[in-house]
Structure 1
Amino acid sequence: MQENFPQGWNPPRKVSREAMEGLRQLYHLDKNTFTTPVLAERFKISPEAVRRILKSNWEQPKEKRAKQAGKDRQHMKLNRLRDKLRERKEVEEILQAKHSRSERHSTWGVDNKDKLTFE
């Protein structure tokens, strides 16, 4: 192992904890279908990284996982609120543009096709 990685293990592409957990679940679901090379190709990481992930039994402590899940929920809420606010502003801009356009083009009781003639 020391020969293969003289500076130590530092993969060029790293995956999230959720991706690691998904990789493990796929492998345990069907070991014949989801082999190391297949998982390496799907997750776009080296086969050595897949081997190390599958070999590792490390799990994040429950408290830290719960704290991270709370943060994730908060971020999702903020993103939803931001999206709603952005949509509301877009609708207001569209309605204002439509309203200002209608004010410019017509006034009450006057039609563009009407012609005033004196005889």
Structure 2
Amino acid sequence: LQDNFPDGWNPPRKLSREAMEGLRQLYNLDKTKFTTPVLAEKFKISPEAVRRILKSRWEQPKEKRAKQAEKDRQHMLLNRLRDKLRERKEVEEILQAKRGRAWGVDTKDKLTFE
């Protein structure tokens, strides 16, 4: 392996912990159907990366996993709030742009409602 990876193992594409767990579950479900080359193709990673993931048994401690899940939930909540705020601003801008225009009146008419 030192000849193949003189600078150490640093794959160009890395999987999340959830994806690694999913890869392991697929392999354990049916080892003949989900072989290393098949999993490498499906997850778009090298067969060497699949081999290393299947060989490794490291799991993140439960406390860290729970802390990360809470952090992810807060991040999603912030994104949702940010999106709602942006949408609200856009609606306000549209309403402000429409104020002062007469509805149902030809643009050639001078009559406007303000």
Q: Same fold (TM over 0.5)?
A: yes
Listed as ranges, the matches of 1:49-64 within 5 Å are 49-64=49-64
65-74 or 35-44: which moved more? 35-44
Deviations 1:27-54 (A, max 9, x none): 1222222211111112111101001101
Rounded Cα–Cα distance in structure 1 between residues aligned with 2:28 and 2:111: 70
Question: Are 2:111 and 1:106 equivalent residues in the alignment?
Answer: yes
Aligned to 1:26: 26
- The CA distance in 1 between the partners of 2:3 and 2:112, in whole Å, is 84
Of 65-74 and 90-99, deviating more is: 90-99
Given the two structures, how large is their TM-score scaled by the length of structure 2? 0.82
Total equivalences in the alignment? 108
Distance verdict in 2 for CA 1:101–1:28, change over 3 Å: farther
Give the SS at the match of 2:53. helix
1:39 matched to which residue of 2?
Answer: 39
For the aligned residue pairs, the C-alpha RMSD in angstroms reads 2.0
The DSSP-based 3-state class of the residue aligned with 1:101 is coil
In structure 1, list runs of 5 or more residues that go unmatched.
109-119
Structure 1 CA distance for aligned equivalents of residues 20 and 81 of structure 2: 30
Counterpart in the other structure of 1:89: 89
The CA distance in 1 between the partners of 2:94 and 2:86, in whole Å, is: 12
Matched residues in 2 for 1:39 and 1:101: separation? 60
Structure 1: distance between partners of 2:84 and 2:72: 18
Cα distance in 2 for partners of 1:20, 1:62 equals 16
> Which residue of the partner structure matches residue 11 of structure 2?
11
Deviation at 1:94, TM superposition (A): 1.2
Partner of 2:69: 69
Return closer, same or farther for 1:100/1:24 CA change in 2, 3 Å cut-off: farther
Structure 2 unmatched ranges of 5 or more: none
